[in-house]
Amino acid sequence: MSDVILVEHAKTDAGAVISTVTVNRPDKLNALNRAVLEGMEQALGEVRDAGARCMILTGAGKAFVAGADIAAMQSMSPDEARGFAELGHRVGHAMEAQPYPIIAAINGFALGGGCELAMACDFAFASTKAKLGQPETKLGVIPGFGGTQRLLRRVGVAMARELVYTGKMIDAAEALRIGLVNSVHEPDALMGAARASAEMICANGPWSIELAKKVILKGRDKGLSDANRLEAIAFGRCFESPQQKEGMQAFLEKRPAKFD
């Protein structure tokens, strides 16, 4: 694993694995370049191979990810820029395709590509010191790693337009108000909050979590009838798994379920 991406694994009391992935370019405010994005792809596979039930994504130092590496992008040709954007999209899609949920722990700046990386996570917690935004239009470009599309799905079309067109930076409280993050925490409590949420996820059936993630993602852009059909199919598939038997038996016996 590249030293620009750090991966740590820890177990809950019940033995479930929670992985923490840290973007590690603090001297560059964790700016995204090709090495970081390729390292993220590798890290996702490592987390999956470790059997992790949840992953937490954060940044080293005072930034989550302050954006893409402008120095690396400045001289790109149109074809090179498109290829770089496609790599960013590939990482975002890979994050969404993983069977485990990913929680963004936004400890500082999450701008441009950093905000896009956070939005590719299942949900996000933010430090009170976090700053978020899509400032690409200030540089004469547009978001290139999914920002125009994931942002409108998170906060609505009008708010997405405002944030992209103005390029303004918002604080954690405003990000919470518009639904860009799920909760806001003091800096020293952020990782603990993310870990507590991950432990709650790990206590539930991993197969049901994986199916729920797939159905929510695939159903969000479908009509209600088609999306509900996806849900019904997935609900039926749950009953193929011994986890459903264990979960319901544990409920009836008034004991905690023990999922493999």
For range 15-24, the mean pLDDT = 97
- Reply yes or no on whether the pLDDT at 2 is more than 90: no
**Complete domains list, the chain, with CATH:** 5-202 (3.90.226.10), 206-252 (1.10.12.10)
Side-chain-side CA neighbours of 96 within 13 Å: the count stands at 18
Q: What is the pLDDT of residue 52?
A: 97
Convert the pLDDT of each residue in 47-102 to its tens digit.
999 999 999 999 999 999 998 889 889 999 999 999 999 999 999 999 999 999 99
Convert the pLDDT of each residue in 119-152 to its tens digit.
999 999 999 999 999 999 999 999 999 999 999 9
- Reply yes or no on whether the pLDDT at 213 is more than 80: yes
**Parallel, antiparallel or unpaired: strands 131-133 and 102-106:** unpaired
Q: What is the pLDDT of residue 218?
A: 95
Convert the pLDDT of each residue in 231-253 to its tens digit.
999 999 999 999 999 999 999 99
Measured distance CA(258)–CA(251) in Å, rounded: 11
Measured distance CA(228)–CA(168) in Å, rounded: 37
- Give me the active site residues, please: 116, 136
Q: What is the pLDDT of residue 72?
A: 87
Q: What is the pLDDT of residue 1?
A: 54
Q: What is the pLDDT of residue 117?
A: 97
Q: What is the pLDDT of residue 240?
A: 94
Among 198, 208, 203, CA closest to 256: 203
Phi, psi values for residue 64, rounded to 5°? -75, -75
CB 21 within 8 A of CB 9: no
Convert the pLDDT of each residue in 152-177 to its tens digit.
999 999 999 999 999 999 999 999 99
Rounded to two decimals, the pTM is 0.95
Q: What is the pLDDT of residue 260?
A: 75
Q: What is the pLDDT of residue 38?
A: 96
CB atoms within 10 A of CB 91: 25
